[in-house]
Amino acid sequence: MDYKAILAFLNDGIELVLGYINSPSKRTYYLYLLSSLLLTLYVYVRTKRKESFVSFVLNRKVWLSRSACIDYGLIAFNSFFKLLLIAPFLLFGLKLAFNTNDFLLAQFGYASFSLSTTETLVLYTISLSILNDFMTYIVHWLYHKVPLLWEFHKIHHSATTMNPFTQYRLHPIELLINNMKGILVFGITTGVFDYLSEHQISKWTYLGVNVFSFIFYSWGANLRHSHVKLKYFNFLEYIFISPVQHQVHHSDNPEHYDKNLGSRLAIWDWLFGTLVRSRQVENVTFGLGQKDNKNYSSFMKNLWMPFQNIFKLFTKK
Ligand SMILES: [Zn+2]
Ligand SMILES: [Zn+2]
């Protein structure tokens, strides 16, 4: 690698880090943060807090805590880690879509009908969004139930304070698994719809999926990792996960372990008995509990601890 290649690598990495704030595909895009600020104002007024709005939002204990600094460190580290993944993953996704389409053609010949452009856009958007959400639930469930996977997912739960960037506090191995899940769902769904619509799938079709994300991100998705207790109407919390419901997911109270595993939709939690609604819970403390929090009190510990614990898992009698 010559110095130009190193510079280009650094440049790409920094662009990815900045992308967390200036790319609409990220939940922490500045416009979504702004819309979350408005919802925070709503919560602030409703809960009649004594401190000023500014100190409520810019709470040092939230944004500059040791835990928050680990979040920022992991975001920077993962941005560079991702550079190694993006190109091969994208290629794999496209190849998977192509192969799925090929497989269907070989099995069933040409489809006897073809979806119109509008049907393709609407059905593809809905299918991909719901399937992605369901697979995210399943994978999240596995992270909590399979001891080996839990060791990696623990890094997300070791946060003792939460701000919107905690969303991206992930161990690189979890990042890898999540990307693989996303690419599998994308590849297979795209292949199926490409087959059913006689190759009408283009990057424009994907725009519909982005509209879904846009709606979700602008409705306070950033407050899920925060100290702002935004609840939804009780009935709505059976369908969509509210910020408080995800905060309950981060609770160190054993009663709340493995609850509210859903990403956007709460229906999976409702169906599989892992749902907790805001009104069922009083206060929550974030983290793994007093005993375990200290094992994750630095950036390096968060990176290293999973491997150490997995080694212990395999060597204990
Ligand atoms: Zn979790
Ligand atoms: Zn979380």
pLDDT, the chain, mean: 90
Between 45 and 114, whose confidence is greater?
45
Enumerate the β-bridge partners of residue 265: 240
Contact 39, 220 (CB under 8 A): yes
To which H or E segment does residue 180 belong? helix 172-196
pLDDT tens column, 288-308: 998 888 999 999 999 999 999
**Mean pLDDT value across residues 32-44:** 91
Q: Which ligand is nearest to the CA of 143?
A: 1
Q: What's the pLDDT score for residue 317? A: 63
Assess whether pLDDT exceeds 70 at residue 1.
no
Asked whether the beta carbons of 79 and 17 are under 8 A apart, the reply is yes
pLDDT per position as a tens digit, 147-185: 999 999 999 999 999 999 999 999 999 999 999 999 999
**Biggest distance spanned by C-alpha atoms of the chain:** 68
Cα 240 to chain centroid, rounded: 15
Percent of the chain scoring above 90 in pLDDT: 56
What is the band of 203 on the pLDDT scale with cuts at 50, 70, 90?
low
Q: Which ligand is nearest to the CA of 71?
A: 2
The DSSP call for residue 34 is: H
Q: Examine the pLDDT at 80 and tell me if it is beyond 90.
A: no
Through-space distance between the first and last CA atoms of the chain, rounded to whole angstroms: 46
From the CA of 244, how far away is ligand 1's center (Å)?
A: 14
Give the Å distance between the CA of 204 and the centre of ligand 2.
30
Provide Rg for the chain, Cα atoms: 21
Could you tell me the distance, in angstroms and rounded to a whole number, from the CA of residue 140 to the centre of ligand 1? 6
Q: Is the pLDDT of residue 16 over 70?
A: yes
Spatial neighbors of 119 by CB under 8 A, at least 6 apart, are 197
Q: 33 CA distance to ligand 1 centroid (A)?
A: 23
Confidence band of 205 (pLDDT split at 50, 70, 90): low
The pLDDT of residue 113 is above 80? no
Distance (Å) from CA 6 to ligand 2 centroid: 33
Check pLDDT > 90 for residue 202.
Answer: no
1 C-alpha to ligand 1 centroid (Å): 38
Which H or E element spans position 144?
A: helix 117-145
Q: Is the dihedral of CA 244, 67, 304, 87 positive or negative?
A: positive
How many whole angstroms from 233 Cα to the centroid of ligand 2?
A: 21
Q: How far is the CA of 146 from the centre of ligand 1 (A)?
A: 12
Q: Name the residue type at position 143.
A: Y
Confidence label for 108 from pLDDT (cuts 50, 70 and 90): confident
pLDDT of residue 246: 97
Q: 215, 247 in Cβ contact below 8 A?
A: no
The full set of domain ranges for the chain reads 3-230+287-315
pLDDT value for 134: 97
Question: For the residues 109-132, what does the mean pLDDT come to?
Answer: 85
Instruction: Please name the residue that has the structure tokens 């975001």.
Output: 75
How is residue 82 written in tokens?
A: 């991702």
Nearest-5° Cα angle at 72, 216 to 285: 70
pLDDT tens by residue, 229-247: 999 999 999 999 999 999 9
Share of the chain above pLDDT 70, in %: 98
Residue 26 is given by DSSP the state S
CA–CA separation, 182 and 83 (whole Å): 17
Distances (CA, A) of 214 to 23, 124, 306: 12, 17, 34
Positive/negative CA dihedral, 263, 266, 271, 275? positive
